[in-house]
Amino acid sequence: MCIFCKIVKKELPSNVVLENDKFLAFHDINPKAPVHILAIPKAHVDSFDEVSSQTMAGMTDFIQEVVKEVKIQKSGYRVVTNIGENGAQEVPHLHFHILGGAKLKWDHFSDADPKGHF
């Protein structure tokens, strides 16, 4: 069982921001911004490549509720999901990083090597 499934089942603790019957949002334990929340479906889905359109529709509404709850919808925020090894997905359970609370930079690609990709 993956770590996020254990969090959903309350086998591991988390700092919950918002929860409903299908989704859970909690603070990231290694934040990259003043606000860094992970939003996940409670049902296990490996990644964005596997998710249904119905789940994504619900996730969209849920993420919009989360940003209102933490009061970053007006100042702005970023929503990111990582897919696979090259996409830096560390946990094989679909999750969206919601980052905000400050003016975010976009310098994390500085170490990427684009040779052979274009």
For the segment 6-43, what is each residue's pLDDT rounded down to a tens digit?
Answer: 999 999 999 999 999 999 999 999 999 999 999 999 99
Q: Taking a C-beta distance cutoff of 8 angstroms, is the pair 94, 51 a contact?
A: yes
Q: Which residues are catalytic?
A: 95
Average of per-residue pLDDT values in the chain? 92
Domain extent listing, the chain: 3-100
CATH code, residues 3-100: 3.30.428.10
Q: Taking a C-beta distance cutoff of 8 angstroms, is the pair 31, 65 a contact?
A: no
Mean pLDDT computed over 74-95: 95
Q: For residue 70, how far is the Cα from the chain centroid?
A: 15
